[in-house]
Chain A
């Protein structure tokens, strides 16, 4: 007869078989049997966070920078409700997470027991799938299924709720079976005919553009390589969503920068005027499209996505290809080579007018800003940070707000999985714990959280985690004392009524760093910025960098609400150059 294992042992046996190395978690009454078992499994290291939300975001940072699922272990009740924000965040941004939560013993479920909550009910809308394990015999199957669902198709978070008596109960363990299809949900559903149609469209197009997103990153580093090959093969311009940054080199001439609400002038105008829009792994999010009726009105649209429900959800497309980005692009390249289409040559004269137009838009220099030698401009701080860190393989996380957009605009990424930001849900407080997770996955690399002072205070307690595990994360705070993006919208849309967006009392971040047992650096003079950044990079340990920036700076360019892509507000630099057309005036 096979050996019997307890539920707690089975959890770890499954982790071992799934190649888990790190768990982010926080113990509590209902998961104690699992924590008790931890000591018997030396290949798995537990990272003790200070708040369960931190565990969730750290697991996200780990997953997004490594391509492996992030593992969370929390207790029942408040343990699991605290992780809901991170699960929702991961669901929106398609990050694979496996969350194991403890639950009160089965006979107490439904009695309002101590630290009981309806975990599967609460997490049902923010996970791809979840389970309450009521019979120990189901546990091995459910755990393997959980890993399978989290990591295949469009990735996402899953949760397994394990009552305490199930953690003690015993059953037989079996290893995961390979290639199990769940209710026939296959992910590659495209055919050669669609690929031929794709090629037909790109051959005919005169004003094409690639619009790529997080799906390319999620498809693995190979997908980015394939994308680069395809973009070079066609010679077409490419723009990227916030989540897709790094899939194509940020400093390449074919790259037009990020698109959308705070995207570049050239990227948004190209999206509006193009005759062929090729969406690869993006989802026509409302921060991207602006006004739907006037979104890219004259283009044929192609959409490549692994999730069939993303297609025609917001924008109707002419050609939909459902499949894994890398598989689809590889097939396209293969077909192009087979047909011996010398696209680069044959397309060049066809798209040369288009490129000329793009150069005209580019010459606007929409990311330009008026620099100062008295105060540090936040854009300048990000630019300097980029210049001083680009010689090494740097990982950037962010919080949410103006600093996030400035980071996306001014920090250039050359590799995928180097950029971790909360895009869909927009979770302030994401960046610091995410940096913890990234540093765990890449212990020798430079990991920087570009932060705002308001966001970073939401999960500041995780500095303690960073100190405990000697994680040399750098928290680069662009401190303007405002919830900057809120202030900007209030300035532009609410008659400068700065309702509750100013933080009257802020901690002394340098002293705070010292209290946590790490290093604090403050800089407020632009002359000292470079030396301070270098000091931060050189320091072997966690650093909180308090960069005091101009509190009144706004993030431009910007598409105002309800406007199409070709009606952007440009920054003050443009108004200076071009007083008559100053599009911004209508709104400011």
Chain B
């Protein structure tokens, strides 16, 4: 065995990582997002995407949706550490392949092209509720809502059709059926 040169132990066997969606309900106060994000960066957890907005205006509660990857142990730690933060009310966690949960991301595509091509663009997007938000003689802005990989695919398909700019949100999530949190 190689002689260790460190006073710390070596990293040990690696477990499989999974993608999870963590939903956090927080008091909407100054610095709360920094606390949540700082916890992730400070402890070396990964953030794939993040979506946050106030959802209860009366109680001042925001809902943060974070897509992250980690071993089961890390995902457990993320939840437990988040629950320790003072402004955090509740934490929920879903696996990305959970059939009981709906995930959605939204994307805005700006395409600069000839008028004839625009129809083609809409056809490409047709499965993802395309909405035309703006249209000129040379350009169009299309909104779609879909899953992450679907939006990735759309970007690739639209590229040759004149896609010049993409803006997209992080994932938001909701459980199916009548059940809900809190």
Contacts and interface: CB of A to CB of B under 8 A. Distances in A.
Interface in B25-44: 27, 30-31, 34-35, 38, 42
Contacts of A493: 4-7
B132 interface: no
Contact of B4 (A121, A125, A149, A561): A561
A128 B38 contact: no
Give the interface centre of A121, A286, A311, A313 by most chain B CB atoms within 10 Å. Answer: A313
B34 A561 contact: no
A576 to B, nearest CB: 25
B181 interface: no
Given A125-B42, A183-B86, A560-B4, A308 B12 contact: no
A21 interface: no
Interface string A177-220: 00000111100000000000000000000000000000000000
A297 interface: no
B80 interface: yes
B175 interface: no
A306 to B, nearest CB: 11
Nearest to A153: B84
A494 B5 contact: yes
Contact of A129 (B10, B30, B86, B89): B86
A562 to B, nearest CB: 4
Contacts of A531: none
B87 interface: yes
A27 B59 CA distance: 39
B86 to A, nearest CB: 4
A121 B34 contact: yes
B7 A489 contact: yes
Q: Bin the interface of chain B by size.
A: 20 to 34
B77 A309 contact: yes
Nearest to A124: B38
Nearest to A311: B80
Contacts of B12: 291-293
Interface string B42-82: 10000000000000000000000000000001001100110
B34 A124 contact: yes
Contacts of B8: 286, 561
Interface residues of A, number: 33
Contact of A291 (B9, B76, B85): B9
B3 A587 contact: yes
A346 interface: no
A562 B10 contact: yes
B86 A125 contact: no
A290 interface: yes
Contacts, number: 71
B62 to A, nearest CB: 13
Contact of B76 (A124, A129, A132, A312): A312
Interface string A288-320: 011111000000000000011101110010000
Contact of B38 (A125, A132, A149, A184): A125
Contacts of A289: 9
Interface string A136-159: 000000000000010000000000
B83 interface: yes
A394 interface: no
A389 interface: no
B99 interface: no
Contact of A309 (B7, B42, B81, B89): B81
Nearest to A128: B86
Nearest to A586: B3
B172 interface: no
A307 B83 CA distance: 11
B116 to A, nearest CB: 51
A364 B90 CA distance: 52
B9 A307 contact: no
B84 A183 contact: no
Give the interface centre of A307, A489, A561 by most chain B CB atoms within 10 Å. Answer: A561
Contacts of A292: 9, 12
A120 interface: yes
A336 B35 CA distance: 43
A311 B83 CA distance: 14
Contacts of B13: 293
B88 interface: yes
10 contacts: A183-B86, A185-B84, A185-B86, A307-B84, A308-B80, A311-B80, A313-B73, A493-B6, A494-B5, A561-B8
